[in-house]
């Protein structure tokens, strides 16, 4: 499943630049994650980089966007193929 940023976000700006899929963006009040771009860093890193750098631990899995490991890999392939074109 993709990740989401909760209200505990302090807008510290560390998550956005580490996202390899550019899925993180500044929302109205806090950073947000576009679930169509989030692969939990599958294909890029062993662990989600935003979770690794977040100082307040406000980036859990999003229960509204459940995806299997295979689905995350397929999304990664689709995103990298689109970027190569």
Q: What pLDDT was estimated at residue 1? A: 75
| Residue 50, in any domain of the structure | yes
- CATH number of 41's domain: 3.30.70.20
| Residue 10, in any domain of the structure | no
> Rounded to two decimals, what is the model's pTM?
0.91
| Residue 67, in any domain of the structure | yes
| Residue 3, in any domain of the structure | no
The model's pLDDT over 18-41, given as tens digits with 9 standing for 90+, comes to 999 999 999 999 999 999 999 999
The per-residue b/e assignment along 21-57, b for 16 or more CB within 10 angstroms, e otherwise, is bebbeeeeeebebebebbbbbbeeeeebbbbeebeee
Element (H, E) at 79: helix 69-84
Q: With bands split at pLDDT 50, 70 and 90, how would you rate the model's confidence at 65?
A: very high
Number of domains in the chain: 1
Q: Which structural domain range is residue 76 located in?
A: 16-84
| Residue 36, in any domain of the structure | yes
Nearest CA-CA partner of 36 in 81, 83, 69, 78: 78
């Amino acid at each position: 499943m993709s990740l989401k940023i909760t209200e505990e976000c302090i807008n510290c700006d560390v998550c956005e630049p580490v996202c390899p899929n550019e899925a993180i963006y500044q929302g109205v009040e806090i950073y947000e994650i576009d679930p169509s771009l989030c692969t939990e860093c599958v294909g890029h890193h062993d662990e989600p980089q935003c979770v690794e750098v977040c100082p307040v631990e406000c980036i859990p899995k999003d229960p509204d966007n459940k995806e299997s490991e295979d689905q995350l890999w397929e999304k990664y392939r689709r995103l990298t193929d689109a970027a190569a074109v």
